């Protein structure tokens, strides 16, 4: 009797294409590792030198100096705004921060205890459903949609959390920055200047990052000429995974599980014995430390000092040392994001939605760039299943 094909054939690290690949053979790179899939002028992720550049500016020059409002403008328009451009852009964002009806009423109907990333994914999809111009493709129309999504995502996240915890949704406050407004809408108290600028720097540092999985997803969807909202919703789905955006949440859960700096070494030993992954460590592109990590570490340290509770920072720092000694693994962006967001009073469950809020600017810029010079993204696959199986009519098929 014929056996069904193995659904998970063993993959080799690389192989030669045959079949529908004409004439020349090509190497298969699992996970597209090392493959350059296109041009971009938005950000440069230099894995060898461990540098990140937004539109020509090293991230080190922007961190703590340019606000998220400035950086989102830079990513979308290609240049840092002048004072008057920034004032207009900030006003535009402020005007789109309030959710239009019927969204607030619909958010109340969503299952409050669902995963926050699943809720955000659904809410952004709803933004598209109620946008009468959702299908408009012009650059102006896409930029207008991007403003709505960048501005309203923090409002959506804060509203959903307050509904989940039995509170009343708070409208945004005029005069507060993008980051400060989020903390106000979530926690119901205006943040200190230090807290607001810490979240602002977090948003800035995570605003874009080359062809990472979620951005590439957004570009792939845009490549089919589907609408802006479809691309952003797909990107949110991609970011939700623990090998990508959810690593910040998992990193915090790891710190909570460890509990004290003294417990770091036994914890690392257990993880090594069980062959488990350390969340917030390792990176596909950076060969050393993620250039965003030192900024996040500095900010987390300052927040810890201000809160009078250095424990989470101390556990993180010890873990960074012990994992480096044991495995020569460097930290990535998600590692100190965990203690930073925790010190700001943001619930662990919301951490990945914070990443999404930051990345809205980058995703939007990539949708615009892809649409501006589009070519359908459609790679080949090497078929590894059987060939020429004899067809067996239904009545003659036996269970295998
Ligand atoms: N903990 C333990 N071992 C690790 C880790 C880690 N975090 N990262 C890599 N390794 C080890 C792997 O076990 C593997 O060892 P092996 O060859 O002996 O099996 C080796 O390093 C190479 O790992 P790969 O998975 O092949 O590397 P890849 O480039 O595919 O992985 C990734 C990159 C997914 C980020 C990985 O480092 C990881 O799983 N990290 C933890 C999750 C995480 O922090 N994700 C966030 C990444 S940044 C971002 O998306 C925003």
pLDDT in tens, 214-252: 999 999 999 999 999 999 999 999 999 999 999 999 999
Residues 302-336 have pLDDT tens digits of: 999 999 999 999 999 999 999 999 999 999 999 99
Same domain, 62 and 175: yes
CATH of residue 87: 1.10.580.10
Same domain, 274 and 221: no
What is the percent of the chain where pLDDT is above 90?
92
Our count of domains for the chain comes to 2
The whole domain housing 323 covers 247-343
This prediction has a pTM of 0.93
Same domain, 147 and 229: yes
Q: Does residue 387 lie in a domain region?
A: no
Strand 51-54 versus strand 43-46 pairing type: antiparallel
Kindly give the number of the ligand 1 atom that is closest to the alpha carbon of 355. 51
Distance 282 CA to ligand 1 centre (A): 5
Same domain, 366 and 237: yes
Please work out whether the CB of residue 243 comes within 6 Å of at least one atom of ligand 1. Answer: yes
Q: Which residues contact 374 (CB under 8 A, 6 or more apart)?
A: 222, 223, 225
Same domain, 188 and 274: no
Q: Does residue 228 lie in a domain region?
A: yes
Residues 286-305 have pLDDT tens digits of: 999 999 999 999 999 999 99
Tell me the best of 50, 282, 353 to mutate to test the pocket of ligand 1, counting ligand atoms within 8 Å of each CB and taking the most.
282
Q: Does residue 385 lie in a domain region?
A: no
Residues 25-70 have pLDDT tens digits of: 678 999 999 999 999 999 999 999 999 999 999 999 999 999 999 9
Same domain, 145 and 265: no
Output the residue whose Cα is nearest ligand 1's atom 45: 243
How is residue 30 annotated by DSSP? G
Output the residue whose Cα is nearest ligand 1's atom 46: 244
92 and 102 Cβ atoms separated by less than 8 Å: no
Residues 102-115 have pLDDT tens digits of: 999 999 999 999 99
Q: Does residue 225 lie in a domain region?
A: yes
Kindly give the number of the ligand 1 atom that is closest to the alpha carbon of 284. 29
Same domain, 101 and 237: yes
Burial level of 143, CB count in 10 A (0-12/13-18/19+)? middle
Same domain, 156 and 279: no
Q: What is the pLDDT of residue 25?
A: 62
Same domain, 293 and 255: yes
pLDDT of residue 8 exceeding 60, the answer is no
Same domain, 224 and 181: yes
Task: State the catalytic residues.
Answer: 244, 283, 334
Please work out whether the CB of residue 129 comes within 6 Å of at least one atom of ligand 1. Answer: no
> Up-side HSE of residue 393: CA atoms within 13 Å toward CB?
2
Please work out whether the CB of residue 272 comes within 6 Å of at least one atom of ligand 1. Answer: no
Same domain, 175 and 76: yes
Kindly give the number of the ligand 1 atom that is closest to the alpha carbon of 209. 51
Q: Does residue 379 lie in a domain region?
A: no
Q: Does residue 222 lie in a domain region?
A: yes
Same domain, 61 and 157: yes
> Up-side HSE of residue 13: CA atoms within 13 Å toward CB?
2
Q: What is the pLDDT of residue 166?
A: 93
Please work out whether the CB of residue 244 comes within 6 Å of at least one atom of ligand 1. Answer: yes
pLDDT of residue 14 exceeding 70, the answer is no
Kindly give the number of the ligand 1 atom that is closest to the alpha carbon of 33. 29
Distance 327 CA to ligand 1 centre (A): 11
pLDDT of residue 18 exceeding 90, the answer is no
CATH of residue 268: 1.10.230.10
Distance 304 CA to ligand 1 centre (A): 28
Q: What is the pLDDT of residue 169?
A: 95
Q: Does residue 34 lie in a domain region?
A: no
Q: Does residue 18 lie in a domain region?
A: no
Distance 284 CA to ligand 1 centre (A): 7
Output the residue whose Cα is nearest ligand 1's atom 49: 244
Cα-based angle 74, 52, 362 (whole degrees, multiple of 5) = 40
């Amino acid at each position: 009797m014929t056996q069904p094909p193995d659904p998970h054939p063993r993959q080799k690290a690389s192989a030669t294409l045959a079949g529908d690949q004409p004439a020349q053979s090509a190497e298969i790179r699992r996970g597209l590792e090392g493959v350059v899939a296109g041009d971009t002028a938005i950000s440069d992720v230099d894995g060898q030198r461990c540098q990140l550049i937004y539109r020509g500016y090293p991230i080190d020059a922007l961190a703590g100096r340019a606000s998220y409002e400035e950086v989102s403008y830079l990513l979308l328009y290609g240049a840092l705004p002048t004072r008057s451009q920034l004032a207009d852009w900030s006003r535009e964002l402020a005007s789109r921060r309030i959710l239009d009806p019927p969204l607030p009423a619909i958010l109340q109907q969503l299952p409050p205890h669902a995963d926050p990333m699943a809720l955000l994914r659904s809410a952004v999809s709803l933004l598209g459903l109620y946008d009468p111009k959702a299908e408009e493709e012009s650059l102006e129309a896409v930029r207008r949609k991007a403003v709505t999504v960048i501005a309203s995502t923090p409002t959506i996240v804060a509203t959903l959390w307050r509904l989940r915890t039995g509170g009343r949704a708070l409208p945004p406050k005029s005069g507060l920055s993008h980051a400060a407004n989020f903390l106000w809408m979530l926690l119901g108290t205006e943040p200190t200047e230090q807290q607001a600028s810490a979240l602002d720097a977090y948003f800035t540092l995570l605003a874009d990052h080359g062809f990472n999985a979620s951005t590439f997803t957004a570009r792939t969807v845009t490549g089919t000429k589907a609408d802006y909202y479809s691309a952003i919703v797909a990107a949110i789905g991609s970011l939700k995974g623990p090998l990508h955006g959810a690593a910040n949440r998992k990193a915090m859960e790891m710190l909570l599980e460890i509990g004290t700096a003294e417990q770091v070494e036994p914890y690392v030993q257990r993880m090594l014995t069980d062959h488990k992954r350390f969340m917030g460590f390792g990176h596909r592109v950076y060969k050393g430390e993620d250039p965003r990590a030192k900024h996040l570490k500095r900010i987390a340290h300052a927040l810890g000092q201000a809160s009078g509770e250095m424990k989470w920072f101390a556990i993180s720092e010890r873990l960074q040392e012990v994992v480096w000694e044991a495995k020569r693994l460097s930290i990535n962006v998600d590692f100190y994001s965990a203690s930073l967001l925790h010190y700001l009073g943001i619930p662990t469950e919301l951490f990945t939605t914070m990443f999404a809020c930051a990345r809205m600017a980058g995703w939007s810029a990539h949708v615009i760039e892809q649409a501006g010079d589009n070519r359908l993204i459609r790679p080949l696959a090497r078929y590894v299943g059987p060939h020429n199986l004899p067809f067996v009519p239904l009545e003659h098929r036996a269970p295998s």
